[in-house]
């Protein structure tokens, strides 16, 4: 018969147990608790306290320089990813002992804000002065700086929020001009007519970063450019043998018919084979490979290839423009292909980057007869004069048709650049722009050799910068290799004016001294001074004017800087001007799009100013994508609204999600995925809570016990050491997803499923100060402190809350009011032998086997409680048996059994075999520990208890 326990007795013994106690709530309620904790941090000046605490640190400073987000709109998932990664890494460095001042920044100037203000003002805009518009833009930017600042702080980002850097702030503006002055001094700044991407709707040049490529349908035309000397052309094709006067044309294809008035040349590839094709009493020249394809457009025409030559044979031949009285010639270009078109490329140096380069080489004019508003000027043929380029497209096609020069017209779908703000297609237009030369050699004072910006930047990138991931280096190098000269001018109002003055002959006054003079003025008054002060006031009364420049007759430049020049100079205005920071930064951390953006455009100014990179290391992360791996847009169901998700789940949940994904690649995310991380937070929180609740009566200073290797405590302690080492290494390598995985798994498996579970019996049932219980508490206390600290950089709120509930913190942490003020945990230093590891592995294997048997007994015999079972270990080897016996009650507890025993092994096989037996019919159950044991009833005073529990209860009575 099984021995049933009376319900009443159960109750009475419950009072004698050491059941868990804690005020640390199981339910986190992050949504309300986080803002309260944030407020607490503000009141205690956590950020400043941290800087102070590390001010004498032998580790010194570690600087992460913040890339400034644009001050526009609420923060989105991309901001969240970026700022969270920065914050986690900074907090890790702080806990390593570094002092980590972090100054967040914002990019405040630029088209997007100006565009917004234009929309808000509408027609009123025309009545307002530039300064008034700029004031509106300033207000707008300031408003969003404040909004985003609040949102970042809510996310738990720690930093100098009461004094961030703003690119529109006057000291910052002055700093940007200081950087520019150096470029002027080094002779790298020049002004030139050059085709640039031009936004017709905004009447401004655009940066590459301001272009968006979209698929659109455009008219494409195949145009015949008649050869000036057909006889000679026939000779070229016949090798001088044949003579013919059949009219010949060069067949050219373009998707931008409106650029044809600016055509000055036709480019061919020297190695490509070109054919002379006769049709309909005339002939055309085009690439042999494309004859079939092109004539397929005109199935009505019978055609014959007469002869072929190579492109180089055509060089120098002349053609007549079909509707302008002008002669052009055939030139060579590398970029000519035979994948589409005709293999002869219409070249208008005023309307394209490649065309421009060809034009410069061939000595052609940079001609573009298009005005800023997108309409043709007076130099254009009469039939398009005053028309917009888009209106001109059909007119030109019609004109060609009338001339008999239109071979074919085909609608084509292709990718074409658009203005990122107005979403309208852009044009390339030659305008006067300011440039920074990439290939002009220069030297700094004391430098023997002269080296170009491009070369210097590449050297810095190759030899002095670490990249995470390391392919970032190749990517940045590739961009430095191919980038054109930097066009730094924009025709806008909301930005930093380019400090150039012109005399009445339009000659520029631009020198290191003139720029620095204006910089001083800006440091005092801000860049609005450019619009409110006269040139004399800007330059100062003692400015030494060069000959030919009379102060009263000076005119101010109207262009402003490319915003990238401003944000790219932040290392100067921030790192070099704020003396508590350091240059160069230890780390720049941004999305991988910034290889082209901020990384490159910070590297270049720093190279020009300092000769070195502004960063020692560059870390990039990927982009948020939908769970299927494709791009997200706001209209998608999977779109994650960062602020909304924080309000719904709490910042810690978002932060944990962010840290769980390998950010080197794309980060798949959806609201459903975020939600799952609530579960993971809870698991971690409950694990901490469990540890904590069993330490309510434990003080490590007085109660700590020696941890022996031959015990689960020894195993757990070693596992914790390993965890500390691995997590620290993962943080060090910025592999945050590994940190998360290690910690989460440790909580779920090592603690929750194995160790914590096994310790329950002794924690609850042993006498409070029994050595076995104290030993376990010793390990659990160390575990709790260490894990809370390791979690702190990620789960900033939850870890800090847990920290508050830990009693009797280690001495070195005693004065740390917040977990964020502490240093990382260190491993115990206990050496673990290979043999010991093997022994623990054996025990875990035996545990697995026992659990399987237990499960079988449960299914087959209805044995639902492991406490009703006995585990028998069959061992022959005396030494091994002695080793295992040292684990004592651990051997039963590790599988949750009531009792364990050893027996002689009578069969061959593994050194140890384990067997689980159902003891419901054999032993009585202890009414207090619920374990079935042979020693239940041994104590006459407590016949319903096992020996250990009887003693424990007696102990309590004393």
Partner RNA sequence: GGGCUCGUAGCUCAGUUGGUUAGAGCGCGUCCCUGAUAAGGACGAGGUCGUACGUUCGAAUCGUAUCGGGCCCA
Closest distance between RNA and the C-beta of residue 745, in Å? 5
The number of beta carbons lying within 10 Å of the beta carbon of residue 722 is 16
Q: Which is nearer to RNA, 194 or 680 (CB)?
A: 680
CA distance 521 to 540: 8
How far, in Å, CA of 609 to CA of 543, rounded?
A: 24
Shortest gap between Cβ of 944 and RNA (angstroms)? 11
Q: Which is nearer to RNA, 765 or 821 (CB)?
A: 765
Structure tokens at 339: 């994948």
Shortest gap between Cβ of 116 and RNA (angstroms)?
21
- In the complex, minimum distance from the CB of residue 262 to RNA, in angstroms, rounded to a whole number: 17
User: Which DSSP letter does residue 69 get?
Assistant: P
Token duo for residue 390? 């888009």
Specify the residue, 54 or 490, whose C-beta has the smaller distance to RNA.
490
**Whole-angstrom distance, CA of residue 484 vs CA of residue 11:** 83
- The helix (run of H) or strand (run of E) holding residue 716 is helix 712-732
- What does residue 664 show for φ and ψ, rounded to 5 degrees? -65, -25
Give me the least distance between CB of 172 and RNA, in Å please. 24
Dihedral of the alpha carbons of 938, 944, 947, 952, in degrees to the nearest 10: -140
The angle at the Cα of 279, spanning 277 to 285, to the nearest 5 degrees, equals 30
Q: To the nearest whole angstrom, how small is the minimum distance from the Cβ of residue 29 to RNA?
A: 10
Query: Nearer to RNA by C-beta: 106 or 690?
Result: 690
- Residue (581 or 863) nearer to RNA, CB: 863
Please give the structure tokens belonging to residue 637: 């169901």
In the complex, minimum distance from the CB of residue 666 to RNA, in angstroms, rounded to a whole number: 5
Judged by beta carbon, residue 629 or residue 829, the one nearer RNA is 629
Q: How far apart are CA 80 and CA 157, in angstroms?
A: 10
With CA atoms as reference, report the closest residue to 787 among 760, 837, 752, 833. Answer: 752
CB-nearer residue toward RNA: 378 or 860: 860
Minimum CB separation of residue 949 from RNA in Å reads 9
Among residues 211 and 270, whose Cβ is nearest to RNA?
A: 211
Q: How far is the CB of 852 from RNA (least distance, A)?
A: 5
CB atoms within 10 A of CB 571: 26
CB within 8 Å of 714: residues ≥ 6 apart: 707, 708, 836, 840
**CB nearer RNA, residue 354 or residue 455:** 354
Helices (H) and strands (E) in the chain, counts: 33, 32
Q: How far is the CB of 445 from RNA (least distance, A)?
A: 34
By C-beta, is 117 or 767 nearer to RNA? 767
Residue number with CB closer to RNA (361 or 631): 631
List all residues 6 or more positions away from 632 whose beta carbon is below 8 Å from its beta carbon. 77, 624, 625, 626, 638, 639, 640, 669
Question: CA 23 → CA 14, 802, 804, distances in Å?
Answer: 20, 10, 10
Kindly state the smallest distance separating residue 488's Cβ from RNA, in Å.
16
Residue whose C-alpha is closest to residue 732's, from 584, 583, 581, 587:
587
With contact defined as beta carbons under 8 Å apart, do 375 and 386 qualify?
Answer: yes
Nearest to 766 by CA among 637, 949, 890: 949
The residue (of 126 and 634) whose beta carbon lies closer to RNA is 634
| φ/ψ bin of 873: left (φ > 0), alpha (ψ from -120 to 50), beta (otherwise) | beta
- Which CB sits closer to RNA, 293 or 752? 752
Smallest gap from Cβ 656 to RNA, in A, equals: 10
Nearer to RNA (CB atom), residue 248 or residue 953:
953
Residue at token pair 């001109």: 392
DSSP string, 899-945: EEEEE---S-SSSEEEEEEE-TTTSEEPTTT--EETTTT-SSS-TTS
Bridge-based pairing state of the strands 932-933 and 912-918: unpaired
In this structure, the dihedral spanned by the alpha carbons of residues 850, 856, 858 and 860, taken in order and rounded to 10 degrees, is: -150
Question: Exposed, middle or buried by CB within 10 Å (0-12, 13-18, 19+), for 588?
Answer: buried
Helical axes 771-791 vs 671-693, angle rounded to 10°: 150
Q: At closest approach, how far in Å is the CB of 858 from RNA?
A: 6
**How many CB atoms are located within 10 Å of the residue 793 CB?**
25
Distance of CA 786 to the CA centre of its chain: 29
CB of 462 to RNA, least distance (A): 15
- Of 172 and 746, nearer to RNA (C-beta) is 746
CB-nearer residue toward RNA: 815 or 841? 841
* Least distance CB 318 / RNA (angstroms): 27
Of 538 and 692, nearer to RNA (C-beta) is 692
Q: Which helix (H) or strand (E) holds 642?
A: helix 642-649
- How near is the Cβ of 862 to RNA at its closest, in Å? 8
783: nearest Cα among 741, 730, 856, 722: 722
CB of 953 to RNA, least distance (A): 12
Residues in a beta bridge with 467: 618
The separation between CA 516 and the C-alpha centre of its own chain, rounded to angstroms, equals 35
Q: Residue 329: left if φ>0, alpha if ψ -120 to 50, beta else—which one?
A: beta
């Amino acid at each position: 018969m099984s021995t049933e326990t009376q319900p009443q007795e159960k109750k009475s013994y419950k009072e004698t147990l050491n059941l868990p106690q804690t005020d640390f709530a199981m339910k986190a309620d992050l949504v309300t608790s986080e803002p309260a904790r944030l407020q607490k941090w503000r009141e205690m000046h956590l950020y400043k306290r941290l800087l102070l605490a590390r001010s004498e640190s032998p580790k010194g400073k570690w600087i992460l320089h913040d890339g400034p987000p644009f001050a526009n709109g609420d923060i989105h998932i991309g901001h969240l990813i970026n700022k969270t990664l920065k914050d986690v890494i900074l907090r890790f460095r702080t806990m390593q002992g570094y002092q980590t001042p972090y100054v967040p920044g914002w990019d405040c100037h630029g088209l997007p804000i100006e565009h917004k203000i234009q929309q808000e003002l509408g027609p009123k805009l025309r009545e307002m002065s530039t300064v008034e518009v700029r004031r509106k833009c300033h207000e707008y930017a300031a408003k969003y700086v404040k909004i985003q600042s609040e949102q970042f702080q809510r996310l738990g980002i720690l930093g100098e929020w009461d004094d961030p850097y703003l690119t529109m702030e006057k000291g910052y503006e002055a700093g940007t001009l200081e950087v520019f002055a150096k470029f002027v001094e080094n002779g790298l700044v020049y002004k030139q007519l050059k085709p640039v991407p031009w936004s017709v709707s905004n009447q401004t040049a655009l940066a590459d970063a301001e272009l968006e490529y979209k698929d659109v349908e455009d008219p494409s035309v195949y145009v015949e450019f008649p050869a000036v000397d057909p006889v000679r052309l026939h000779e070229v094709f016949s090798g001088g043998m044949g003579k013919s006067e059949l009219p010949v044309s060069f067949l050219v294809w373009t998707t931008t018919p409106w650029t044809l008035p600016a055509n000055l040349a036709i480019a061919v590839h020297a190695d490509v084979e070109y054919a002379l094709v006769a049709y309909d009493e005339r002939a055309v020249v085009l690439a042999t490979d494309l004859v079939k394809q092109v004539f397929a457009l005109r199935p009505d025409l019978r055609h014959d290839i007469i002869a072929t030559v190579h492109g180089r044979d055509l060089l120098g031949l002349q053609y007549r423009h079909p509707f302008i009285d002008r002669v052009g010639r055939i030139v060579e270009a590398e970029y000519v292909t035979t994948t589409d078109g005709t293999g002869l490329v219409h070249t208008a140096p005023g309307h394209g980057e490649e065309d421009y380069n060809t034009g410069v080489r061939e000595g052609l004019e940079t001609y573009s007869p298009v005005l800023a508003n997108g309409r043709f000027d007076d130099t254009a043929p009469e039939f398009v004069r005053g028309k917009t380029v888009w209106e001109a497209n059909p007119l030109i096609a019609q004109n060609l048709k009338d001339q008999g020069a239109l071979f074919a017209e085909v609608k084509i779908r292709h990718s074409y650049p658009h203005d990122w703000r107005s979403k309208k297609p852009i044009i390339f237009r030659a305008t006067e722009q300011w440039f920074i030369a990439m290939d002009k050699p220069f030297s700094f004072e004391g430098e023997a050799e002269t080296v170009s910006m491009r070369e210097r930047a590449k050297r810095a990138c190759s030899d002095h910068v670490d990249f995470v991931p390391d392919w970032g280096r190749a990517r940045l190098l590739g961009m430095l290799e191919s980038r054109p000269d930097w066009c730094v001018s924009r025709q806008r109002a909301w930005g930093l004016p380019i400090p150039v003055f012109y005399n009445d002959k339009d000659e520029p006054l631009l020198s290191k001294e003139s720029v620095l003079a204006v910089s001083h003025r800006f440091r005092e008054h801000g860049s609005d001074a450019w619009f409110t002060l006269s040139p004399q006031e800007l330059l100062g009364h003692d400015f030494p004017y060069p000959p030919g420049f009379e102060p009263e007759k000076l005119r101010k430049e109207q262009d402003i800087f490319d915003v990238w020049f401003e944000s790219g100079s932040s290392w100067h205005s921030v790192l070099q001007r704020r003396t508590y920071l350091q240059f160069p930064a230890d780390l720049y951390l941004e999305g991988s799009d910034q290889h082209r953006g901020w990384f490159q455009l910070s590297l270049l100014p720093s190279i020009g100013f300092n000769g070195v990179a502004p960063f020692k290391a560059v870390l990039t992360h990927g982009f948020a994508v939908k769970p299927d791996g494709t791009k997200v847009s706001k209209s998608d169901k999977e779109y994650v609204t960062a602020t909304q998700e924080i309000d719904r789940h709490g910042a810690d949940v978002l932060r944990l999600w962010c840290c769980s994904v390998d950010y080197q690649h794309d980060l798949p995310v959806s609201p459903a995925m975020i939600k799952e991380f609530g579960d993971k937070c809870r698991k971690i929180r409950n694990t901490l809570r469990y540890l904590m609740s069993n330490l309510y009566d434990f003080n490590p200073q007085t109660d700590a016990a020696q941890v022996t290797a031959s015990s689960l405590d020894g195993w757990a302690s070693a596992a914790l050491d390993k965890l500390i080492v691995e997590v620290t290494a993962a943080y060090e390598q910025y592999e945050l997803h590994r940190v998360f995985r290690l910690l989460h798994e440790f909580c779920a498996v090592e603690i929750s499923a194995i160790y914590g579970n096994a310790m329950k019996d002794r924690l609850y049932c042993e006498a409070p100060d029994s050595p076995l219980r104290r030993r376990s508490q010793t390990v659990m206390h160390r575990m709790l402190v260490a894990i809370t600290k390791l979690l702190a950089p990620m789960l900033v709120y939850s870890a800090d809350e847990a920290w508050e509930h830990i009693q009797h913190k280690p001495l070195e942490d005693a004065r740390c009011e917040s977990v964020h003020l502490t240093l990382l945990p260190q491993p115990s230093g206990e050496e673990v032998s290979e043999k010991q590891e093997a022994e623990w592995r054996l025990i875990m294997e035996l545990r697995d086997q026992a659990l399987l048997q237990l499960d079988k007994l449960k299914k087959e015999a209805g044995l639902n409680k492991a406490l009703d079972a006995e585990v028998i270990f069959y061992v022959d080897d005396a030494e091994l048996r002695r080793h295992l016996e040292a684990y004592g009650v651990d051997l039963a507890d590790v599988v949750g059994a009531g009792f364990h025993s050893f027996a002689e092994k009578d069969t061959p096989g593994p050194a140890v075999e384990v067997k689980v037996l159902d003891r419901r019919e054999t032993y009585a159950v202890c009414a207090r520990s619920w374990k079935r044991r042979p020693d239940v009833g041994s104590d006459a005073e407590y016949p319903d208890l096992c020996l250990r529990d009887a003693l424990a209860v007696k102990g309590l009575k004393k």
